[in-house]
Structure 1
Amino acid sequence: MNRTIAIIADRIGWEERRLIDVGPDLGLKIEWVNDESLCLGHPDPSQLKGYDAVLVRSRSYTRGGLVATLAEAAGVPTLNSADAIRVCENKLSLRALLRGVGAPVPDFRLILSRKDFDAALAELPLPVVLKPVFGGMGKRVALLRDPDTAPSVYDYVEDLGHGFEQACLIEPYLSGGASVRCFVVGRELVSIAEFESAGTDWRSNAALGNRHRAVAQDPDVLKIVDAVVDELGAGIYGIDLFKTDDGYLVNEVNHAPAFKAVASATGADIATAIGRYVREVVG
């Protein structure tokens, strides 16, 4: 029996096209639904009629979480869950949750004001990273190396940010230009790739076009991945780790992870793995 699945996203990227292409071989008819044209809110929304599940691929955490909330309320199986998206959206909530169950996360300080900023710099030695609590794709992340220029960087947060945009974290600069992306489907770790900063950009993020290579599965990584999935529930995640001298630390978890670079580095057929998982969820 064929199933019809909605990919809810703001655009069709490489990943969405791959998911649409593999669908027929798995008995899935996968269609794109623009997250800007749903106008959900009715308890029995006509916009979701005929769909056996929705796969939330919105790049915006805010849009994705809101759409997932209303899709779930309408009784449509939703991947990922609204609860999981909300936790992934908020780096502070994610780290507090994981730290509470003993999963390793970087040291950090919450910055809500200039006083917080000054206190954090007094407690954490430079260099440090200033990043938004709400954000992704390496955007609005700053490496602070110099005590003379650090206050000027915060001026931009204080003067140009609005509301939640001013909520930031400061953490030690740990990665040395590399991070590890663990791609999880359901509860299975299907591939691992390491990303290294390219050129003069210190950030290691697939969205920035960094170098990438496959790495072997590590028991310590598997343990961390299991801990994350135990807390968020089964789903489709990009779990980003820092590797330090003391082991791995969870940097963030992505709710609608890109996988072109990981698939290229590892050869894993991630689109098919996602399609099979969706098929398993809808039955």
Structure 2
Amino acid sequence: MARRALILVEGASNMLRYVQAASRLGLHPIPLSADPTQYHCLAAKGIEAIRVDTDNLDALIGECSRLRATYDIAGITSAQESVYATVGKLCRHFDLPGPNPASIERCCDKFAQRQLLAEAGVPMPAYRLAADAKDVERSAAEIGMPVVLKPAVGAGSCGVRLCRNVDELTEHTTYLLGGKHIWRSSPRMLVEEFAQGSYYCADIMGHEVIGIQSGDFGRPPHFVYREFTHPALLTDDEQERIADLSLSCLQALGLGWGPTCIEFRWTELGPVVIEVNPRLGGEPTPQLVELAYGVDLVTEHIKLAIGEEWNLHRRHSHTAAVRFLVPDRDGTVDRIDGDSQAAAVSGIAEVKFYVEPKMPIVRKGDYRDCIGYVIAASPDFIETAVALQRGVDLIDWSITPFPTLGE
């Protein structure tokens, strides 16, 4: 009898969690990747990703057809936004449960997303589509400074910047159009009103809002996450308004199968939608949700993908928080330590480093700037905050700046 397998098409930072969850469900995980070397963490599990062009539907169909000769493919899924629409098409080809690829494609195009949300009356920042520098300048003048300038397709805050004046706008436009930014589509940009207010993100499975987290960023002009806390400190009315707005987004965009995370800013006019992401939140969002509510989003997503009934019942109500470790300079890592001491602090749930000594650090102004994180959890908000700070205080690193010309 053929062994049941789960095909994982890429997986970004959550790949290892999907592999582990699949194994616990009695499935044989088979990762497919355009660059298997990025998943070196799988080696300890005896898993090796298969190299295939994951942007090429025909190539994926061919590889999955080959694997079907050996395995009973129970499901195909992914946690990576850039391939999720392709995964939806792959699922339809093999008659397996999966997301609606057309809905995913529309959602991943931020301009198309904005248009659909606007038609549905969803509150959001003013926006314009721009194809060149003149469009950007004109759009910013119409909206008024400050504005957020970002690619129309992308994730992880890559290429996203707050432009507070004309000089910053010109500089970032030149960067985006000057060949340094890697475009996943034709060079189109969104110029958006900067919605000022507290940041929140709703984590959703199907049509159920599992939880709402608060977030904090480092210093502008970039949007590099500094801290998340699950659940956010909101009144019942505030929670209801964000939950209702989340469901409106799902309906407007034709979503509601599997995971979605929706970002908000609470402005003077109330919550406005910053972005709808048709995927599971990146690491460590699944850990926070599980620590806070006892719901394993990765496992439940896999169950959905293989046609089994999921369980989104909350098992408890705790507070979980993460602090991201972000360097303040480029250079070479001399040392990074304190992880074992931090992990020993009562309330610390996880400490993770992405770098090690001798590695070069070149900040990008997006999610890639994070060199690690510390997570704390407890039944009490204050206890969690205190434990998190104690853990973070034990982490220490040093970075030697790169030599300048002439040195």
Q: Same fold (TM over 0.5)?
A: yes
Q: 1:280 to 1:174 in 2, by over 3 A?
A: closer
Q: Are 1:7 and 1:30, in contact at CA under 8 Å, matched by a contact in 2? A: no
Q: CA deviation at 1:10?
A: 5.1
Name the structure 1 match of 2:7: 6
Q: Paired residue for 2:272? A: 249
Counterpart CA distance in 2 for 1:248 and 1:233 is 21
Post-superposition offset of 1:156: 2.3
Partner of 1:120: 139
The answer for the alignment partner of 2:396 in structure 1 is none
Is residue 209 of structure 2 the alignment partner of residue 189 of structure 1? yes
Residue among 120, 137, 158 paired with 1:139: 158
Rounded to whole Å, the distance in 2 between the matches of 1:66 and 1:136 is 16
Q: Relative to structure 1, is the Cα distance of residues 16 and 10 closer, same or farther in structure 2, using a 3 angstrom cutoff? A: closer
Unaligned runs of 5+ in 1: none
Deviations 1:244-265 (A, max 9, x none): 1111112112233215146437
CA distance in 1, matches of 2:222, 2:293: 24
Note if contact 1:5-1:52 (Cα within 8 Å) is conserved in structure 2.
Answer: yes
For the aligned residue pairs, the C-alpha RMSD in angstroms reads 2.9
1:111 aligns with 2:110: no
Displacement of 1:158: 3.0
Q: 1:144 to 1:95 in 2, by over 3 A?
A: same
Which aligned pairs between 1:119-268 and structure 2 lie closer than 5 A? 119-160=138-179, 164-176=185-197, 178-198=198-218, 200-204=219-223, 208-213=224-229, 214-215=231-232, 216=234, 218-230=239-251, 231-256=254-279, 257-261=281-285, 263-264=287-288, 267-268=292-293
Q: 1:127 to 1:72 in 2, by over 3 A?
A: same
Matched with 1:68 is 88
SS in 2 for 1:194: strand
Would you say the 8 A contact 1:5–1:53 is kept in 2? yes
Query: How far 1:203 sits from its partner (Å)?
Result: 4.4
Cα contact 2:163–2:221 (8 A) shared by 1: no
**Offset of 1:197 from its aligned partner?**
0.9
Greater shift in the superposed pair: 246-255 or 258-267: 258-267
The worse-fitting range, judged by mean Cα deviation, of 153-162 and 140-149 is 153-162
1:40-64 per-residue CA deviation (whole Å, 9 max, x = no partner) reads 24498233552221121235x1x33
Task: Report the Cα distance in structure 1 between the residues aligned to 2:286 and 2:303, rounded to whole angstroms.
Answer: 22
Q: How many residues align?
A: 270
The structure whose Rg is larger is: 2
Residue 96 (str. 1) matches residue 85 (str. 2): no
User: What is the aligned partner in structure 1 of residue 20 from structure 2?
Assistant: 21
Give identity over the alignment, percent.
18
What does the per-residue CA deviation read over 1:190-213, in whole Å, with 9 as the maximum and x for residues that have no partner? Answer: 111111113x24545xxx441122
- Where does structure 2 lack aligned partners over 5 or more consecutive residues? 35-50, 53-58, 309-407
1:163 Cα offset (Å): 8.5
Q: Give the match for residue 50 of structure 1.
A: 72
Instruction: State the Cα distance separating 1:148 from its structure 2 match.
Output: 3.7
Distance, in Å, in 1 between the alignment partners of 2:166 and 2:269 is: 27
| In structure 1, C-alpha distance between the alignment counterparts of 2:213 and 2:204, rounded to whole Å | 12
- What secondary structure is seen at the aligned counterpart in 2 of 1:139? coil
Which secondary structure does the structure 2 equivalent of 1:45 belong to? Answer: helix
| Residues 280, 146 of structure 1: alpha-carbon distance in 2 compared, 3 angstrom cutoff | closer
Return the offset for 1:33: 1.3
- Asked whether the 8 Å contact 1:56–1:68 carries over to 2, the reply is no
Tell me, yes or no, if the aligned pair for 2:286 and 2:297 is still in contact at 8 Å.
no
SS, match of residue 195 in structure 2: coil
Asked whether the equivalents of residues 9 and 32 of structure 1 are also in contact (C-alpha less than 8 Å), the reply is no
- The answer to whether residue 80 in structure 2 is matched with residue 81 in structure 1 is no
Q: Which structure is richer in relative contact order (CA contacts within 8 A, separation 6 or more)?
A: 1
Q: 1:170 is paired with a residue of what secondary structure?
A: strand
Q: Supply the AA of the counterpart residue of 1:175.
A: Q
Contact 1:43 1:74 in 2 (8 A): no
Does the CA contact (< 8 Å) of 2:107 and 2:278 recur in 1? Answer: yes
TM-score, normalised to structure 1, is 0.82
